[in-house]
Amino acid sequence: MNIFSTDSVQNPFFQTTRRRRHIQDTHITLAHGSGGKAMRDLIDSIFVNTFDNPILSQLEDQATFNLAILLQYGDRLAFSTDSYVVDPLFFPGGDIGELAVNGTVNDLAVSGAKPLYLSCSVILEEGLAVEMLQRVAESMQSAAKKAGVQIVTGDTKVVHRGAVDKLFINTTGIGVIPTGVNISAHNIQPGDAIIINGELGNHGTAILIARGELALETHIESDCQPLNGLVETILNVCPQVHAMRDATRGGLATVLNEFAQSSQVGIRLHEQSIPIREEVKGVCEILGLDPLYLANEGKLVVVVESKNAETVLSAMKSHPAGKDACIVGEVIPSPAGIVFLQTTFGTERIIDMLVGEQLPRIC
């Protein structure tokens, strides 16, 4: 069931106008998922009022798009979906709503696509404060506006108390890839340069500290941000980017291992070139974590031919999301599928895939 509608759009066949409703309850009850009046009140008050746009306002069970408009941006669709279960819902530098929008926007952007439309499906726990849900919806709309996308359809479900932890969100996104752009991990070649757009591990560290389970205090904030503007800047100067991926769960180490295995190449990182805040290093040392595996929500890894590396790096530094960009490694012919870290001591160690999860529920 589409959760969105509006009171201001005329039906082209019946010329009717639906009056928007308002929720009176302070907390979510099972009635808000029943499909009746209480559910309509919730939908109108929280989602319709916040996400209203011309596509959403058609009052249908699906969003429809004009293909001619999509074709203005390119010749292929990019389609991505992700679910968000972060704990806590609100953390330094962001919240679950902002995370849900930026996460899907970034998954589309690193394919080279221009993100355009998102869906939003929510699973609500009985007893959740309506005011908290309103804050999350407003955060989603703010993030969508900043990223230049629209939330155009979705769904809502309510489950018994304890069946979920307050609020889970799924977002699905559609974007269009420009003609001639072909970004894939299979394109990576020996000699390519590896670039990242800034400090690693801030998001994972901020989430860990925000849980309040440790007697640690820092001023670290999540790096949660949209990356589509930065990607556009990169492609403007170098449409021939070989590979690109956002370093979320599993961090930089996981992304590079996936790259190495996909193209059957080796990758060498230079420890002294990798930007990591001292506070992040300190938390990792205390807890026995490796910052190369910590999650990020505003960092991407770019692989380009070495001859284009400085041009791309300069372009990235000109964008707010890439001002701290740097070259951190290179692709080598062998051993295939292996990632090495050249340490500050001149030795090398293998950076392997994680066996488990360092920090659960970080996105």
The conformation of residue 353, written as its DSSP 8-state character, comes to P
CATH 3.30.1330.10 domain extents, the chain: 30-177
pLDDT of residue 15: 34
Q: How many residues does the chain have?
A: 363
The conformation of residue 174, written as its DSSP 8-state character, comes to E
pLDDT of residue 113: 98
Tokens of 221: 């904030």
What is the rounded distance in angstroms from the CA atom of residue 296 to the CA atom of residue 358?
13
The conformation of residue 45, written as its DSSP 8-state character, comes to I
Q: Name the percent of the chain in helix, strand, coil, to the closest 5.
A: 35, 20, 45
What is the rounded distance in angstroms from the CA atom of residue 15 to the CA atom of residue 281?
62
pLDDT in tens, the chain (363 residues): 455 533 333 333 223 355 667 888 999 999 999 989 999 899 989 998 899 998 887 768 899 989 999 999 999 999 999 999 999 999 999 999 999 999 999 999 999 999 999 999 999 999 999 999 999 999 999 999 999 999 999 999 999 999 999 999 999 999 999 999 999 999 999 999 999 999 999 999 999 999 987 777 788 999 999 999 999 999 999 999 999 999 999 999 999 999 999 999 999 999 999 999 999 999 999 999 999 999 999 999 999 999 999 999 999 999 999 999 999 999 999 999 999 999 999 899 999 998 877 788 999
pLDDT of residue 241: 98
Regarding the domain delimited by 185-350, which CATH topology (the fold level of the hierarchy) does it fall under? Phosphoribosyl-aminoimidazole Synthetase; Chain A, domain 2 (3.90.650)
CATH 3.90.650.10 domain extents, the chain: 185-350
Regarding the domain delimited by 30-177, which CATH topology (the fold level of the hierarchy) does it fall under? 60s Ribosomal Protein L30; Chain: A; (3.30.1330)
